[in-house]
C-alpha cells in the first residue's frame, strides 16, 4: 500500500467530528486530543467530551469507553501529568485508522489535536514543508512580537529580544498596549 504524505499540519476527522486542525509531531511519542469533563463513573466507565465550550468544535456529546488506560505523559518542558488514554477512530491522509489518544486540556494550544509518531509510524510519510492548516499562534505575546518584528526587525531586537528572550514571563500585556 502506498503511504500518504502528510504535512506539518492536517485536517482530520475523529470520532465523528470533521475537519479538525491537527499538528503532526514526530517528536511526540503519543497522540493527544482536547477533552473536557473527564470522569470515571461508578461502573468504571471513562466518560468525556471532546473539546470544551470555548472550542468551535464542541457539541457537548459525551463519549463513553470501557477500555482505557492511565499513563504518565511528559511534556516537552519536562512536566509530567497523568492522563487517560483510549482508542478513537481517526481519518487522516485519506486513511481511516484506530488510534490511541491521551485526553488532555489543549485549550491553550494552537491545535486541539496532536498526532504523534506511534500513530504515524509505518503508515505515513511526513513532509514538513507542507502545511494544510493555516492556524496562527494563540499566545497574545507571540502575536504581539510578530507584529513588532514585522514592523522593524532591528528595533525589535534592540528593544525587546535582548530584554525578554530569556524570561518571557516578564512581558506584561494590557489590551491594546504594546510591550
pLDDT digits (tens, 9 = 90+) for 125-153: 998 888 777 665 555 666 677 777 778 77
Q: Is the pLDDT of residue 160 over 70?
A: no
Domain boundaries in the chain? 4-126, 140-170
Euclidean distance between CA atoms 107 and 122, whole angstroms: 30
pLDDT of residue 177: 47
pTM score of the predicted model? 0.75
- Nearest by Cα to 8 from 140, 168, 115, 147: 115
List pLDDT tens digits, range 35-51: 999 999 999 999 999 99
pLDDT tens sequence across 75-89: 777 888 899 999 999
What is the end-to-end Cα distance of the chain in Å, rounded?
53
Domain 4-126 sits in CATH at 2.40.70.10
HSE, CB side, 13 Å, CA atoms: give it for residue 145: 18
Amino acid at each position: 500500500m502506498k503511504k500518504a504524505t502528510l504535512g506539518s499540519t492536517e485536517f482530520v476527522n475523529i470520532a465523528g467530528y470533521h475537519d479538525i486542525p491537527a499538528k503532526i509531531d514526530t517528536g511526540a511519542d503519543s497522540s493527544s486530543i482536547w477533552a473536557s469533563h473527564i470522569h470515571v463513573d461508578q461502573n468504571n466507565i471513562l466518560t468525556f467530551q471532546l473539546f470544551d465550550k470555548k472550542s468551535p468544535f464542541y457539541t457537548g456529546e459525551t463519549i463513553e469507553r470501557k477500555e482505557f488506560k492511565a499513563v504518565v505523559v511528559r511534556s516537552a518542558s519536562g512536566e509530567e501529568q497523568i492522563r487517560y488514554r483510549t482508542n478513537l477512530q481517526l481519518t487522516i491522509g485519506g486513511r481511516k485508522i484506530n488510534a490511541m489518544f491521551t485526553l488532555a486540556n489543549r485549550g491553550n494550544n494552537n491545535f486541539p489535536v496532536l498526532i504523534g509518531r506511534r500513530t504515524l509510524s509505518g503508515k505515513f510519510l511526513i513532509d514538513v514543508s507542507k502545511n494544510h492548516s493555516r492556524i496562527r499562534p494563540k499566545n497574545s505575546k507571540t502575536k504581539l512580537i510578530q507584529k513588532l518584528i514585522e514592523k522593524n526587525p532591528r528595533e525589535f531586537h534592540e528593544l525587546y529580544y535582548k530584554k525578554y528572550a530569556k524570561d518571557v514571563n516578564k512581558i506584561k500585556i494590557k489590551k491594546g498596549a504594546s510591550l
